[in-house]
Structure 1
Amino acid sequence: MDDDTVIRALYDKYRRPLYGYVLRSVGGDRQYAEDIVQETMARAWSHASELDPDRAGRWLFTVARNLVISGHRKQAARVTEVPIDDREFAALGDDIDHVLQVWQVIEVMRGLSHDHRQVIVELFYKRRTVNEAAVVLGVPPGTVKSRSYYALHALRAALEERGVTGS
């Protein structure tokens, strides 16, 4: 896929969610939000050969987040008499950090075996009991327990490798 095709695909897929995220992050300043999105896409263009449009969301949101934070820092340096409210600045990181962690969990889940992934989905996403999951999966409850044990260990190890820690 050539660079122009990659950028068009990124723009079509991520422009609106990226704009919405940035708009909330900059307090509703539409022009500034559009500038951030455009700068994010310009940086994506310079890395187009490395980006896969189906998996570039985390990268794009991280770039946008860093641009917003950088903008806040520049503004704080210029206007010293009006400090940034700490609660507002902390909330900025909370949303995107959560989104990034979810994407990382999804990627790690794809790397689990089919059986382990099924057990995790049944127990933790569908909130079934061990016995309910056993019935749905057609295996004994002991197998569900064993698979969940090994699946959680594999999931935890893969997430730790990526620097994602539980909070």
Structure 2
Amino acid sequence: SQQAQSLEKLQRRQTTEAVEKLYEYFDFVGQKTPWQWKAEQINPEKEIKKIKEKNPFVKIFCPAFVKVAQIFARSRAESDALTTTLALLRYKANKGQLPEKLDELILAGYLEALPTDPFSGGPFVYKRLGDDFMLYSFGTDCDDDGGTHNRSWDKDDQVFWPVQQTSR
């Protein structure tokens, strides 16, 4: 096959250089959040594709880095949102009402610092809704859709509270 012929023509030095270049880029991009990618106009998929196209070995064996980075950011957002939600619920249980702003959780000792939403570059969006609240992330599209929930994370916002109904 054509792929087998391409692999046979590979030279070790060129493949090693391509893999090193790819992992240097992974290191560079991996230290940034999806929000930073957007703000700095970094397009990891495009850049990784350029590197992969130059070497069939890299093209075949390269991990789906962008997807892995997105999953890591989502996991981080979910963990930090849980911590923030628990702090809000504890604050309400102890003080009888919700804080006006998330900063009050720090002042009252419920959080050491406000977690950063990896998809906005700022804190999670907190809206006090009477005796309840909404807490959400911008989600992977990196923009504020006003708390419109999308459970697949591929567009809209990721609402953590109130817990969203999902259809099965």
Larger fraction in helix: 1
Give TM-score scaled by structure 1 length: 0.33
Give TM-score scaled by structure 2 length: 0.33
